[in-house]
Structure 1
Amino acid sequence: MTAVLGVEELRALLSASLPSAQDADTIEPTVNTLFTPDTHRLALDVDATIVKGGRGVGKTFWFRSLLDERLRAVAAHEYRIDRLTRMTVHAGYGADNVPERYPGSAELRSLVDGGVAPWDLWNTVLLVALGMPDLDDISSWKDRVQWVREHPAMRDRAIAEADRRAKVDGVLRLILFDALEHLHRDRRQADQLVAGILQVALELRLSTRNIRFKIFIRPDMFDGALLFFPDASKLVSNAADLKWSPPNLYGLLFHYLGNHFSSSAERFRAATPGWGEPTPGRHLPPPSLLGDEQQQSELFTTIAGPYMGANFRKGHTYTWLPNHLMDGAEQVSPRSFLSALTKAVEETTAQYAAHEYAIHHEGIRRGVQAASTTRVGEIKEDLPWVQTAIDPLAGQQVPIDESSVIDLWTEHGLTEVLQGQATRLVEGEKVRTGPRYPDRYPGLIEELIQLGVMRRRKDGRIDLPDVYRIAFSIGRKGGVPRVKA
């Protein structure tokens, strides 16, 4: 590598290629940045109504890519899913403000707070996507929903006619949903709205052949919606999970490096022969850089050196980075991976500019610290009760006996604190909005394990993966240092 690309040039290429912002809402997919990991093929299958994934795994990226005809064609070619080229795609809900397609956040909350039923709302969004002429001249969503509610027979005929036309034309009508955590500030209302989307999606699966919803959703939100629409579990058989293996993550990194618009990227590709160009300007890494861990490790060694210190006892850079970003389910989000690398390059440039490699191992450590801070911030926002449960463990060392965790929770009166976050009264019934087991600590531990915040070692002790442990101020002997306040 260094014979073709010098250390400083490689460091500059890394800095220029890695996305400066890791927030999906600020990154628009392009032909160059579109990456097609083998593990995501099922998510694009037209029969996969539910696509589950946590923060930063690519839900919004795929949502936006499917809305773009050119990117759909690229995905269709590389995943060999021909039907992706024979469909019309509309947004049913997303982070972008598209009031002609679906209500904006303020109007949506006004509709819900005004008593509009989720079933009526999403049927109206469906009919707008199908181009029902009767709704064209109605400007407000409130009036549109009212019209649909008053004309149920016309709604049924419109869906049946759209299904017949789609069959004749040989196309699929696909309506996409994303950013569901932004549906409503009140989690209970958001869960009800998601349940309404799932209800319409299931009806379409059962009653039509050529009209489908595809719903990108966090697993905890899908579970919350099941409280209001248990039949949604019938959609699970064809559900997909957006998962990333370590080879996928490194393949993404090399894809970014090889697709930057610069002569440095050309020299990077020249140093790693076998790149393809199926689409003008889009360069695909050779298979060895997508799925061969030995080849990937050798290339990353030329970028960051072989070890996380003086020798192998400190760990190998290639395995160390993803291992320290994994959650309890052994999953790493590309957002965390790229964020850690971006920070690593910044630290190397600022403090280790004369280093023999483009990335210094100390920069990687600080990158993991930064990624942990971001990940903990995300889960605090998504599930505030998790912080409440973990805070009593601050300052402890892991792995830790389960009995010690329970003793700390008991000492802090965790049950009483969590009770207020555990349930809400909804139409006379208790609905869970916090943890399932606020008063049963072994069950609470299992719930945190399911979320990936904790994991259980073979000897029964409780551990926290570094991506959570570091920013939650929990120690580990010989581990990455905690983030200092």
Structure 2
Amino acid sequence: MSLSPHHYRELLAAALPVATDSDTLDPDVRTLFTPANHRKALEPDVTVVQGGPGVGKTVWFKALQNDRLRQLAAAEYQLPRLNRVTPLAGYGTALRPDQYPSQRALDHLQRIAKPEDIWTAVVLCAVRAEGISELVEWSDRVRWLLEHPDASERALAKADDNAGRHGVTMLFLFDGLDRLHSSRDVNDSLVRGILQVALDLRTRTRNLRAKVFIRPDMFDGIRLNFPDASKLVANAADLTWSPTSLYGLLFHRMGNSDNPHSAQFIADTGEWDTQGERRTPPRSLVGDSEHQKQVFTAIAGPYMGTDRRKGITYTWLPNHLTDGIGQVSPRSFLAALRKATDITGERHSTYEFALYWDGIRQGVQEASGIRVVEIREDIPWVATAIAPLGGLQVPIEESDVVQRWEERKLRTALDELSQQTAEGNEERSAPTGPLSTDYGKLIAELIELGVMSRRANGKLDLPDVYRIAFDIGRKGGVPRVR
């Protein structure tokens, strides 16, 4: 017996998180999803893991530090080496002053030492090297390293030997790298220091490794001034999500929900594998688009309206959440579905399917709003650059964009933003400022970020996931939020 629309909605409401921020939600045995194309990112020898906002960098940063989740990933990805990893946090968004310096401490440390010395001190403290780990203040730890270069080298070699004797790899994990310093130049310098230390560990030791979770735009900007970047690029991994992975995540959450209707959903969708608390979907449910389409059609109907001219529901949703470089974040995807569930339950509870098509459209509007809030927090200058375009319509000529920027004095606004951040120097604030305020280069950077794209005819476009919340129109597109 299949689920009714009402029961589907109850299951979706239970399975979809109200909050989708990875800083506040920790992965667990039930919710951790293992997309096939994330396997490479977990290899201990892969140093750089690139991913945009909301794609899972912090999820894997946390999961690798959890013994049970790391063992789970080792089993599902067939990566037995993960079972022989000792994870150590080198930097993250959580305030852990005993493990790594805070943003405030880094502001002081970068004035007295090179970035690579700061992070080498972090590594030595993590392995509890004698002489340095007994010190309490990070400034004292860094000074010890500067005053004892030979002892520092011996401590690193000793940690490498000890790890080898125990048959483990000590893995230093770095996340939240856009929160190292409020100045973009200083932030980039600190990240270069992390990459240098990571490269040194890979080339000079056998059993000490680093894994650096970083936004692609940050890595691209930094590697221009990093002589050995090619050595890191060669084995870098990307955290990307295909439409099948996104729907696989949805169905995984539905099957692992505490809601009683989860059992019927499992019975209706194939042979799931149950191991303790965790239920793993059949391969067809996470990798076969035709099977997924059948299941999602039962939930949301076949079309975004009365017929196929309005769009096929299964493809319409991820297509309208895609950024300018073809990426969709699971955070946006789940947020859109959560909003669609709530809207349908409140306003269309008698609809023949669990999700009403206009609820899905409003879900995309909600996801756009969330994405823009993320951009304001993570890359503030992007919001400063796009906000003046409100009220315009895309596709748009580059000259019209530049004209609007000139009218709104964008260069002045960007300078003021950088100055405000530098003066405030607030803890946990993100670095501000594009690489250049030349409007041509600014557009190129926005395209690289996926906030803009350029059409074959040269006109500029904005994907819906940004366009809607910035109040930019598109003829026949998802309407702006009023």
Q: Does the TM-score normalized on the shorter chain lie above 0.5?
A: yes
SS at match of 1:92: strand
Q: Which residue of 2 aligns with 1:88?
A: 86
Q: Given the alignment, which residue of 134, 154, 175 partners 2:172?
A: 175
Q: Given the alignment, which residue of 138, 156, 159 partners 1:159?
A: 156
Q: Given the alignment, which residue of 345, 361, 370 partners 1:365?
A: 361
Is contact 1:188-1:433 (8 Å) kept? no
More relative contact order in 1 or in 2 (CA 8 Å, sep 6+)?
A: 2
Amino acid corresponding to residue 156 of structure 2 in structure 1: I
SS at match of 2:112: coil
Q: Which residue of 1 aligns with 2:397?
A: 401
SS at match of 1:468: helix
- Runs of 4+ with >6 A deviation: 419-423
Alignment map for 1:65-80 (pairs within 5 Å): 65-80=63-78
The separation in 2 between residues aligned to 1:129 and 1:56, in whole angstroms, is 28
Higher deviation after alignment, 56-65 or 469-478: 469-478
The separation in 2 between residues aligned to 1:163 and 1:329, in whole angstroms, is 40
Deviations 1:414-463 (A, max 9, x none): 4565567799xx9xxxxx9633453353x433322111111122333221
Change beyond 3 A, Cα 1:475–1:483: same
Is contact 2:124-2:133 (8 Å) kept? no
Q: Which residue of 2 aligns with 1:384?
A: 380
Is contact 1:325-1:466 (8 Å) kept? yes
The separation in 2 between residues aligned to 1:182 and 1:419, in whole angstroms, is 20
- Structure 1 residue 100 displacement after superposition: 2.3
**TM-score under structure 1 length normalisation:** 0.92
Q: Within the alignment, does 1:144 sit opposite 2:146 as a pair?
A: no
Structure 1: state its 5+ residue gaps: 427-431
The separation in 2 between residues aligned to 1:350 and 1:249, in whole angstroms, is 25
Change beyond 3 A, Cα 1:61–1:287: same
Alignment map for 1:90-109 (pairs within 5 Å): 90-109=88-107
Change beyond 3 A, Cα 1:366–1:225: same
Amino acid corresponding to residue 262 of structure 1 in structure 2: N
Q: Given the alignment, which residue of 278, 293, 297 partners 1:301?
A: 297
The separation in 2 between residues aligned to 1:448 and 1:263, in whole angstroms, is 45
Deviations 1:89-109 (A, max 9, x none): 111111223232212344344
Amino acid corresponding to residue 280 of structure 2 in structure 1: L
Amino acid corresponding to residue 89 of structure 1 in structure 2: P
SS at match of 1:449: helix
The separation in 2 between residues aligned to 1:415 and 1:165, in whole angstroms, is 54
Q: Given the alignment, which residue of 42, 47, 50 partners 2:48?
A: 50
SS at match of 2:20: coil
Change beyond 3 A, Cα 1:445–1:109: closer
The separation in 2 between residues aligned to 1:440 and 1:466, in whole angstroms, is 22
Report % sequence identity. 54
SS at match of 1:174: strand
Higher deviation after alignment, 64-73 or 176-185: 176-185
- Structure 1 residue 276 displacement after superposition: 1.2
Change beyond 3 A, Cα 1:149–1:415: closer
Deviations 1:238-295 (A, max 9, x none): 1111100000000000000000123211111011122112x31211111111111111
Deviations 1:394-421 (A, max 9, x none): 2122122334334434444545655677
Q: Which residue of 2 aligns with 1:195?
A: 192
Alignment map for 1:323-342 (pairs within 5 Å): 323-342=319-338
- Structure 1 residue 333 displacement after superposition: 0.2
Is contact 1:419-1:438 (8 Å) kept? no
- Structure 1 residue 478 displacement after superposition: 1.2
Q: Within the alignment, does 1:476 sit opposite 2:474 as a pair?
A: yes
Is contact 2:217-2:448 (8 Å) kept? no
SS at match of 1:263: coil
The separation in 1 between residues aligned to 2:70 and 2:34, in whole angstroms, is 11
Q: Which residue of 1 aligns with 2:427?
A: none
Is contact 2:323-2:450 (8 Å) kept? yes
Alignment map for 1:81-480 (pairs within 5 Å): 81-112=79-110, 115-226=112-223, 229-277=226-274, 279-414=275-410, 418=414, 434-441=433-440, 443-480=441-478
Amino acid corresponding to residue 434 of structure 1 in structure 2: G
Is contact 2:23-2:58 (8 Å) kept? yes
Amino acid corresponding to residue 182 of structure 1 in structure 2: R
- Structure 1 residue 330 displacement after superposition: 0.9
Change beyond 3 A, Cα 1:386–1:351: same
Change beyond 3 A, Cα 1:472–1:83: same
Deviations 1:198-229 (A, max 9, x none): 11111111111211110111123324444664
SS at match of 1:73: helix
Amino acid corresponding to residue 188 of structure 1 in structure 2: D
Is contact 2:402-2:439 (8 Å) kept? no
The separation in 2 between residues aligned to 1:289 and 1:13, in whole angstroms, is 17
**TM-score under structure 2 length normalisation:** 0.92
The separation in 2 between residues aligned to 1:433 and 1:256, in whole angstroms, is 36
- Structure 1 residue 472 displacement after superposition: 1.1
The separation in 2 between residues aligned to 1:29 and 1:231, in whole angstroms, is 34
Q: Which residue of 1 aligns with 2:426?
A: none
Is contact 1:176-1:214 (8 Å) kept? yes
- Structure 1 residue 164 displacement after superposition: 2.2
SS at match of 1:24: coil
Q: Given the alignment, which residue of 10, 13, 25 partners 2:8?
A: 10
Q: Which residue of 2 aligns with 1:429?
A: none
SS at match of 1:91: strand
